[in-house]
């Protein structure tokens, strides 16, 4: 009787194309697959062969294998040799209660479907990248072990499976540049989650169906260029951190500039513990070929905990800032396409790094930033001579590119902490004799 079958010898079965379909469960102990010439096999099914404890080494020779079903086996390790099984698109290991190691699955370049339901002992590495063509993932009752980072970026996933909520140790969830269509509400079950990155998910839309403030460990939420969600639903987040948040630090949010149709930037001033903010223009065409009005970003001045701010690539319509001097925690500031930038309204007591690109600076007096500024970068800026260079006694790096009004850098002479001067100039500016410790990279415009 087939249920008593212990040994199955398929040695020499060179014309085998499909797995044998047994009418009853079997307790197979030995499977002999000496199949060096079995290159045309497209499907290998070992379901419920509970005493099969490892995959045959000859598996790597099955060049055209498309389906591998090992559900209910005693396999402990799924080992995939790099470069093998290039056409495998379906792998199912449901109910493999002894399965522990799946680390080599990322080598399966054509894999579109992966099922690990009931694999309760799986111990994936802390950081695990899934195959980029993956479209279906099922992890029901899969403990996930020590999996802390799940990276599904650039895969074919359109919906995060609900079974992800079983990954109790997950700290980072990345799905950059996927076609994710809705915000997965069940991620609120992942109590240890620290980072969510849905940047570039241009299909992401609808309302946010959950209260992510219950994720007490959440520090980073990135939705850059997830336009529909970021602009229309972001304000629905009840994102005020709970009292438990203080043990891991304030949350960090990085979002896109807003709705690509109206170019409205959502007011995030209610995120009073915000530490990092990045507003990006995607440079896509607008209705009528131009923006109706510049985006309003004055609410940024009401973010007292902000440490890093980037407002970049607003080429179509330069914007103006309010008085940022109240942002006393701001350490790094990057601005592009600012009109009439007033340096005296920047936070002088805290700013360490200042990067300006395509900014018009009527009065380029930098002496107000002398207390802490250590890195200054100016690119394609409209300004006359840089006034106050000699006062930047903490300056370490100076970078100037394509700033035609700058012809004199003699103010660098006595800056003892200066270590690097970089620049691209139409005409080489006047430079003092600098210490040998200062590296100079000065190039003419191409």
What pLDDT is attached to residue 15? 64
The per-residue pLDDT for range 309-356, each reduced to its tens digit, is 888 755 555 566 778 888 999 999 999 888 788 888 898 889 999 999
Is residue 44's pLDDT more than 60?
yes
Backbone angles phi, psi at 196, to 5 degrees: -125, 125
Q: What is the pLDDT of residue 265?
A: 61
Domain boundary among 119, 135, 162: 119
Given a cut of 50, whether residue 411 has pLDDT beyond it is yes
Segment 279-292, tens digit of pLDDT? 765 444 444 445 44
**To the nearest whole number, what is the mean pLDDT of the chain?**
78
User: Does a structural domain hold residue 40?
Assistant: yes
CA distance 123 to 95: 15
* Count of other CB atoms within 10 angstroms of residue 293: 10
> What proportion of the chain, given as a percentage, has pLDDT over 90?
15
In a domain, 305, yes or no: no
- 373-376 contacts, C-beta under 8 A, 24 or more apart: 374/417, 375/399
On the question of pLDDT at 191 being above 80, the answer is yes
User: Which residue would you say has higher pLDDT here, 435 or 240?
Assistant: 435
Query: Is 22 inside any structural domain?
Result: yes
CATH number at residue 74: 3.80.10.10
pLDDT band of 75, cuts 50, 70, 90: very high
| Candidate ranges 167-171, 261-265, 381-385; pick with highest mean pLDDT | 167-171
Which is higher by pLDDT, 12 or 227? Answer: 12
pLDDT of 111 reads 93
- Domain end, chosen from 72, 101, 119, is at 119
Q: State mean pLDDT over 104-108.
A: 88
Question: Is 202 a domain residue?
Answer: no
- 3 in any annotated domain: yes
Q: Is residue 446 part of a domain?
A: yes
Residue 93 has pLDDT above 90, yes or no: yes
Measure the CA dihedral 52/53/56/60, to 10°.
120
Question: Which of these ranges, 86-90, 395-399, 428-432, has the smallest mean pLDDT?
Answer: 428-432
285 Cβ neighbours under 8 A, 6+ residues apart? none
Provide the number of structural domains found in the chain.
2
User: What was the pLDDT predicted at 125?
Assistant: 64
Predicted structure pTM score: 0.59
Distance between CA atoms of 336 and 314, rounded to whole angstroms? 7
> Does residue 326 fall inside a structural domain?
no
pLDDT band, very low/low/confident/very high, at 258 (cuts 50, 70, 90) = very low
pLDDT at 51 > cutoff 80: yes
**Quick one: average pLDDT of 113-124?**
82
Given 70, 96, 119, the domain boundary residue is 119
Got the DSSP string for 358-420?
S-B-SS-B-GGGTTT--EEEEES-B-SS-BTGGG-TT--EEEEES-TT--B-GGGTT-TT--E
Residue 5 lies in a domain: yes
Q: Which domain holds residue 1?
A: 1-119
């Amino acid at each position: 009787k087939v249920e008593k079958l212990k040994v199955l010898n398929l040695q020499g079965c060179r014309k085998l194309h499909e797995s044998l379909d047994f009418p009853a469960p079997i307790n197979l102990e030995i499977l002999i697959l000496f199949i060096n010439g079995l290159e045309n096999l497209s499907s290998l099914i070992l379901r419920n062969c509970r005493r099969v404890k490892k995959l045959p080494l000859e598996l790597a020779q099955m060049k055209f294998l498309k389906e591998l079903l090992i559900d209910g086996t005693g396999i402990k390790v799924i080992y995939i040799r790099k470069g093998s099984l290039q056409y495998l698109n379906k792998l199912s290991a449901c109910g493999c209660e002894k399965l522990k190691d799946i680390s080599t699955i990322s080598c399966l370049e054509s894999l579109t479907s992966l099922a690990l339901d009931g694999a309760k002992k799986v111990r994936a590495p802390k950081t695990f990248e899934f195959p980029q063509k993956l479209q279906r993932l099922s992890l029901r009752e899969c403990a996930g072990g020590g999996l802390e980072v799940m990276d599904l970026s650039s895969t074919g996933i359109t919906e995060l499976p609900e079974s992800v909520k079983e990954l109790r140790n997950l700290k980072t969830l990345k799905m950059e540049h996927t076609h994710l269509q809705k915000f997965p509400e069940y991620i609120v079950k992942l109590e240890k989650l620290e980072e969510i990155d849905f940047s570039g998910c241009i299909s992401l839309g609808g309302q946010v169906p959950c209260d992510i403030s219950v994720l007490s460990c959440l520090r980073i939420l990135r939705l850059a260029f997830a336009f529909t969600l970021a602009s229309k639903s972001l304000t629905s987040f009840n994102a005020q951190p709970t009292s438990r948040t203080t043990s891991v630090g304030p949350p960090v949010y990085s979002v896109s500039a807003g709705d690509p149709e109206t170019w409205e930037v959502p007011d995030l001033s209610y995120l009073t513990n915000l530490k990092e903010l990045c507003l990006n223009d995607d440079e896509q065409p607008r209705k009528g070929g131009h923006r109706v009005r510049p985006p309003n970003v004055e609410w940024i001045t009401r973010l007292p905990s902000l440490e890093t701010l980037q407002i970049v690539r607003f080429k179509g319509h330069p914007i103006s800032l309010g008085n940022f001097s109240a942002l006393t925690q701001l350490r790094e500031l990057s601005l592009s396409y600012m009109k009439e930038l007033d340096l005296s309204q920047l936070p002088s007591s805290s700013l360490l790094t200042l990067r300006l690109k395509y900014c018009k600076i009527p009065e380029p007096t930098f002496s107000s930033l002398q207390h802490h500024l250590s890195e200054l970068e100016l690119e394609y800026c409209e300004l006359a001579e840089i006034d106050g260079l000699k006062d930047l006694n903490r300056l370490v790096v100076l970078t100037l590119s394509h700033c035609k009004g700058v012809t004199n850098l003699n103010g660098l002479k006595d800056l003892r902490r200066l270590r690097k001067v970089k620049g691209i100039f139409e005409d080489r500016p006047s430079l003092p004799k600098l210490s040998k410790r200062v590296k100079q990279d000065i190039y003419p415009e191409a």
